[in-house]
Chains A and B, each alone.
Chain A
Amino acid sequence: GENVEQHPSTLSVQEGDSAVIKCTYSDSASNYFPWYKQELGKRPQLIIDIRSNVGEKKDQRIAVTLNKTAKHFSLHITETQPEDSAVYFCAASLIYNQGGKLIFGQGTELSVKP
């Protein structure tokens, strides 16, 4: 089955710097890669996703890149702000599969210092 590895487990940056979180997956059939943000004490929420037919997707200060050959994808946050501090989870799945079966990475705790 699918396995997702996420690195680093913790990341500390200064406000205004960029942050990069990386994930690798094992199942080459996976074609949907979402990223979720979980603020302290809150539920995870989708922030961006990418499908295997594109290599990059941007939404304001966040972007995700996908390398299907190497089976890895990354989250890039530019001009970080204190409100970006949270735990970020990557995930992989098959669209049109058995309905939302997602395999999550272990999570990255991002701390943005003012």
Chain B
Amino acid sequence: EAQVTQNPRYLITVTGKKLTVTCSQNMNHEYMSWYRQDPGLGLRQIYYSMNVEVTDKGDVPEGYKVSRKEKRNFPLILESPSPNQTSLYFCASSGGGSYNEQFFGPGTRLTVL
């Protein structure tokens, strides 16, 4: 089954404790992205990746890191989480080119205390 998976689905942590949210896709997609969803603000892109070892900042990259060492995986790293990073996070992948449909993962609900 073609899918995007994320782990964990729910996470409660404390300020300053490094965490990683994993994302994996099995559709051999070139492009992957991370979004955060906050009420009234819609979906805002954090980082995106066009291929292995190629990443670029989205609209709200501050406080986040990403890496793309393998085509299927695109982890999101919060080195020192703060309460304003409490949000719902979605990973997405797309085939790129004319196939721009974003396939979203199930989401990760993060709470930073």
Contacts of B49 in A (CB 8 A): 99
Contacts of A6 in B (CB 8 A): 42
- Minimum CB–CB distance for A90 against chain B, Å: 9
CA A9 – CA B39 in complex, angstroms?
11
- The tally of residues in B whose CB lies under 8 Å from a CB in A reads 30
Which of the 9-residue segments A11-19, A42-50, A58-66, A71-79 touches chain B? A42-50
Contacts of A46 in B (CB 8 A): 101-102
Q: Are B100 and A95 in contact (CB under 8 A)?
A: yes
CA A78 – CA B92 in complex, angstroms?
29
- Where chain B touches its partner, the secondary structure class is strand
- Minimum CB–CB distance for B104 against chain A, Å: 4
- Minimum CB–CB distance for B31 against chain A, Å: 4
Q: Are A96 and B43 in contact (CB under 8 A)?
A: no
- The tally of residues in A whose CB lies under 8 Å from a CB in B reads 26
CA A105 – CA B42 in complex, angstroms?
6
CA A81 – CA B78 in complex, angstroms?
41
Contacts of A1 in B (CB 8 A): 59
User: Is A25 in contact with chain B by the CB < 8 A criterion?
Assistant: no
Considering only CB atoms, which chain A residue lies closest to B94 in the complex? A100
Q: Are B45 and A49 in contact (CB under 8 A)?
A: no
- Minimum CB–CB distance for A67 against chain B, Å: 21
Sample (18) of A-B pairs whose CB atoms are under 8 Å apart: A6-B42, A9-B40, A36-B102, A43-B90, A43-B105, A89-B43, A95-B97, A95-B100, A96-B98, A99-B94, A99-B96, A100-B48, A100-B94, A100-B102, A101-B45, A101-B56, A102-B33, A104-B35
